[in-house]
Amino acid sequence: MFNNLPKKIQLTEVGPRDGFQNVKTFIPTGDKIAIIEGLIESGLTTLEITSFVSPKAIPQMADAAQICAAILGKYDGKINASALVPNLRGAQLAWDAGIREITCVVSVTAEHNKANVNRTHEESVQELVRMREALPDMNMRVDLATVFACPFVGWVKPEAVAAVTEKIAKTGIKKFVLCDTIGVATPDRVYNLTKFMKSTFPDFEFSLHLHDTRGVGMVNMMAGIMAGVDSFETSVGGLGGCPFAPGAAGNTPTEDVVNMLTDMGITSGVDLNRLLQVVALIKDNVDEPLNSHMAKAKIYDCFCPRQ
C-alpha cells in the first residue's frame, strides 16, 4: 500500500491569506511581514500571501498592497507568491502590486456560491472571462469550494464537481484546487473524487485543500496522496476556515503535515524546526488559538533521519 508514495510533496502555504482572514483583531502589517518572511525562510516557496478584497468585507486584508511590496521586493524570483481575488478589480489591484498568479473561488453548489461571492455559476464564469481578457498574462487557478459537501445542501456528487469544472474549463483555466470547505470529507470520498477528477480531466492540474475541522485532515491527505495528488494547501498553525461556512474553522496545519512527511521520508523542502519558530511567533502576535499538534508536541532529537 505504501510502496508507491511520491518522493516529494508540494505544499502551498495559505496561512497569510486563509489563516489570517478570520482573525478579528487586526494583525499589524509588520507582524504579518515577519511571519511570511519566517515561512519563506523555513523553506516554503509557494505561498498565498494575501487577498485583494474589499477592506469593508475583510478588514484584515486592507494592507494587501503593503504586504506584496515588502515580500515581492525581497523575494521576487525566489518564491511563487499568489493572492486571492473576488473580481476583476481585485485582479487588477493584484497585478499592479506585482502578483502574477491569482486564486478565484467558485463553489460547486449554487447555494454556497451565492453566499460566498454573491453570484450564480454563470456570473462567476463570466467574471473569470473578464479577468482573463483584461489580464492575459496573469496566471489563474480556481479553488473549487464545497466539492465534498455544502453546509446548505449536504453531500455533493462527483458528477456535480465535474460539471462546474467543465464550465470553468471553457475559459482556458486548467489549474484547480479541490476544497473540503466545511471539513467533513472522509478518506474514501477524497480518494474517489480525486481519482474521478484526474481521470475525467487528465490534462488538468489538481491540488487538495483539506480542512481539519473533525480531526481527519492528514488522514484525508494520505488518501489524496494514494490517489496520485502531490500538491496540497496547508495553513501554519491550522489557522483559517471559510467565513461563509458555519463551523468550518481549522485548516490542516502545515507543521503537522511537514512532521508527518519528514518522518515518512517524503520531501517537502521545509525545515520543521524553523517552521516551529514561526508558529511561536504567531502565538505571540496573532490573537487566535492555534489548531496544530506540533505547536504543543515535543520534538525528539534521538531519532535518526529515515534511511
Residue 68: active-site member: no
Q: How far is 103 from 86, CA to CA, in rounded Å?
A: 8
Pick the catalytic residue from 68, 179, 242, 304: 242
- Ranges of H-type helices in the chain: 29-41, 64-75, 88-96, 110-117, 121-134, 158-169, 187-200, 217-226, 254-263, 272-285
d(CA 221, CA 53): 29
C-alpha cell, 44: 516554503
The residue among 109, 248, 272, 108 whose CA lies nearest residue 185 is: 248
List the Cα angle 152/158/159 in 5-degree steps.
100
Phi, psi for residue 94 in degrees, rounded to 5: -65, -45
What is the amino acid identity at position 238? G
Determine the Cα–Cα distance for residues 264 and 244; give it in Å rounded to an integer: 35
Dihedral pair phi/psi, residue 151, rounded to 5°: -65, -10
Run of H or E residues at 48: strand 46-51
Longest CA–CA separation in the chain, Å: 57
Contact 107, 150 (CB under 8 A): yes
Q: How, if at all, do strands 154-155 and 149-150 pair? A: antiparallel
Cα(126)–Cα(211) distance, integer angstroms:
29
- Cβ pair 124, 116 in contact under 8 A: no
Looking at the annotation, which residues are catalytic? 242
